[in-house]
Amino acid sequence: MVAKKSIKFLTILGIVFSSLTTFAKSGETSEKGGQVSTPEQINDYIKHHLADSHDFALFSYTNDAGERKHVGFPLPVILWTSNGLTTFMSSEFHHNDDGHVLVEKNGMKFAKIHSKIYELEAGASAVAFDDAHHATNAARVLDFSITKSVFGMLFAGFLMFLGFRSLAKGYKKGAIPTGVGRVLEPLVLYVRDEIARPNIGEKKYKKFMPYLLTVFFFIWILNLLGLTPLGFNVTGQIAVTVCLALFTLVIYLSNGTKDFWAHTLWMPGVPVILRPILAVIELVGFVLIKPFSLLVRLFANITAGHFVVMSLIALMITLKNQFGAVGSTGISLVLALFISVIEILVAFLQAFIFTMLSSLFIGMAVEEHEHH
């Protein structure tokens, strides 16, 4: 068993390292210097980090020969273009992010500008920009790439599946879980007893448990992954939070009871004239405002957290002139450490709040009213 595990681990390690080295070799171009020193550069760097990325960069450095080296591994790019499906590895962009490196596939040219992939119009040989730095002769394509965020989600999903599968299997051996299950079980119980049961109600909570548990652990793990130096920012991607909020919306709308719709669309006990107005307010509340609050809260909290942590780390550079290298590093270390601790709390809190509010909205929709 142990031998099997270690072989598996070594295989994965081997694959990672081999791809790392090939990537390092291929990434020898672009960005001369590459140091980030001015506030503008820091700002750009943070923005770049907050956006999704098409390759998995761990770190980069400038070698003795003055070449910029990137260590990480490329991820597959999958595009739905005017010509159908096109795939290639992200390493073909050579870490270029301003549209200067063009990748030619199936007779189409692609450029990557600010982490977005554009397809150049037929005949164009370079991306033309207007004054606002928008590409004029290229259009965005549908990008189903395994980006860093998608990779992060797959990783989180993999972790969840491993962990909870082992917990589920553990129950076959005995009622008390062992190993990692001992940590996971209280969390499952927490979601059930503190989030689902009080908000949805004893009768109906069971049906929604799989969704709530999945979302809670998914968000929490991704939030925590975002705090690692791997630099994931999955729950800070608006597309991801939109998707999560949409799931909750669909679930509570599709499970709304007759009572729920009656109270939403034709509120009893209220003058008839007011009822249509109330219906509009309620409907907007349930269909737009509630999911919007869910998606913006998660997105904004995580994005802000990343922004603050990175800005505090950047103090090391911006305060160097005033406090010297050691002083600025010390200040940045203390502050970043402090905020990171808070961010660990926020990582849990946002997962909790998302799940909590989801179950609250579901609870509102499935509630059986007393008939007056």
Partner 1 sequence: MEQLLNDFSPGLFAMQMLILLILLFLLAKFAWKPIIAALNDREEGIQNALDAAEDAKKEMENLQADNQKLLKEARAERETMLKEARDIKNKMIEDAKDEAKAESSKLVAAAQASIEAEKKAAIADLKSQVANLSIAIAEKVVREELSNKDKQVKLVESMLGEATLN
Token match 């660990």: residue? Answer: 344
Strands 68-74 and 76-81: unpaired
Is 157 a binding residue for partner 1 by CB under 8 A? The answer is: yes
Q: Does 210 bind partner 1 (CB under 8 A)?
A: yes
By the rule CB under 8 A, 92 interacts with partner 1: no
Binds partner 1 by CB under 8 A, chosen from 24, 188, 224, 364: 188
Which helix (H) or strand (E) segment is 129 a member of? none
CB of 68 to partner 1, least distance (A): 26
List all residues 6 or more positions away from 68 whose beta carbon is below 8 Å from its beta carbon: 27, 28, 29, 30, 31, 32, 33, 34, 60, 61, 62
Q: Is residue 164 at the binding interface for partner 1, with CB under 8 A as the rule?
A: yes
According to DSSP H, which parts of the chain are helical? 2-26, 39-50, 148-173, 181-190, 197-200, 205-227, 238-254, 258-265, 274-284, 290-318, 320-366
CB of 359 to partner 1, least distance (A): 15
SS3 label, residue 102: strand
Q: CA gyration radius for the chain?
A: 25
CB atoms within 10 A of CB 61: 11
Residues 277-296, one symbol each (x = binds partner 1 by CB under 8 A, - = not), give --------------------
Contact flag: residue 145 with partner 1 (CB under 8 A): yes
What sign has the CA pseudo-torsion 231, 66, 34, 326? positive
Paired tokens of 364: 């509102």
- Total residues at the site for partner 1 (CB under 8 A)? 44
Of 247 and 323, the one with the shorter C-beta distance to partner 1 is 247
- Residue 244 interacts with partner 1 (CB under 8 A): yes or no: yes
Q: Among 20, 36, 51, 89, indicate the residue that binds partner 1 (CB under 8 A).
A: 51
Using CB under 8 A as the binding rule, whether residue 153 contacts partner 1 is answered as yes
- Nearer to partner 1 (CB atom), residue 213 or residue 309: 213
The footprint of partner 1 (CB under 8 A) covers: 51-52, 80, 116, 142-147, 149-150, 153-154, 157, 160-161, 164-165, 167-169, 171, 175, 185, 188-189, 192, 206, 209-211, 213-214, 218, 237-240, 242-244, 246-247
